[in-house]
């Protein structure tokens, strides 16, 4: 199943990505946000998110307005990496 990306704006902008895990096949859900005014992208556990939506690497920064585009771009980067390593 394809990924579903939804956005909820308010005091903090949230972007949720739902997708099938390439290893387990289970549906997974991760939510990302930036503080009001922009800053570091964080996940639903409050941890900073890096390139490719990984937990290590160059930390992502975004404005509230750009967050959906940033998450889509990094999601595509993650999928490309997964395919390169034979996970998809």
* pLDDT value of position 2: 64
Number of separate domains in the chain: 1
Q: Which domain holds residue 35?
A: 4-84
pLDDT of 77 > 50? The answer is yes
What is the torsional sign of CA 75, 76, 81, 87? positive
Residue 17 bridge partners (DSSP): 5, 30
> Which residues does 84 contact at the CB level (< 8 Å), separation at least 6?
none
pLDDT, tens digit, 9 for 90 and up, residues 51-70: 999 999 999 999 999 999 99
User: Per-residue pLDDT for 28 more than 60?
Assistant: yes
Report the chain's terminal Cα–Cα distance, integer Å.
12
C-alpha distances in angstroms, 76 versus 3, 35, 37, 51, 71? 10, 23, 25, 11, 9
Give, as one character, the DSSP assignment of residue 60.
P
pTM: 0.84
């Amino acid at each position: 199943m394809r990924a579903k990306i939804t956005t909820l704006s308010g005091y903090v902008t949230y972007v949720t990505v739902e997708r099938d895990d390439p290893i387990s096949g289970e549906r997974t859900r991760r939510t990302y946000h930036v503080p009001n005014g922009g800053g570091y992208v964080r996940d639903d556990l409050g941890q900073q998110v890096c390139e490719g939506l990984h937990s290590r690497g160059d930390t992502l920064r975004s404005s509230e307005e750009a967050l959906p585009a940033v998450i889509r771009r990094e999601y595509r980067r993650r999928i490309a990496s997964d395919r390169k390593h034979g996970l998809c």
